[in-house]
Amino acid sequence: MSIGKYVTDFGVIGSLMGAIGTARQTQSMRRDWRRFVVWIVWAAGLVLAISSVSMREQDSAYEASEKDRHRNVAQAEKAAKKEAKLALKKA
């Protein structure tokens, strides 16, 4: 697992920079439950950014397999049409 792909991703960088705005916002807030909710929302955004980077390789592999599957289905349909055409000529 390479940390470089996380460090260089703009979504993760932007989410980490959001901590500055969150810290500024919570400094002026009263110390109650709402402050924790703000930090939980920021943490959820960071988790989503990190998980999107980690799932990117699996998404690429899935897209490639779907393209192969669609290509194979198209080839099978083409072959079936060709066989049906030959069967009509023989009949």
Q: At 63, is the pLDDT very low, low, confident or very high (cuts 50, 70, 90)?
A: confident
pTM (two decimals)? 0.61
| 90 confidence band (pLDDT: 50, 70, 90) | confident
Question: How many domains are contained in the chain?
Answer: 1
Alpha-carbon 82 to chain mean position:
40
Question: For residue 46, which of 22, 79, 77, 80 has the smallest C-alpha distance?
Answer: 22
pLDDT value at residue 18: 93
d(CA 44, CA 32) in angstroms, rounded, equals: 19
Provide the residue type at 19 as one letter: A
Tell me the pLDDT of the chain averaged across its residues: 85
Residue 31 reports pLDDT greater than 80: yes
Give the domain extent around 79. Answer: 4-90
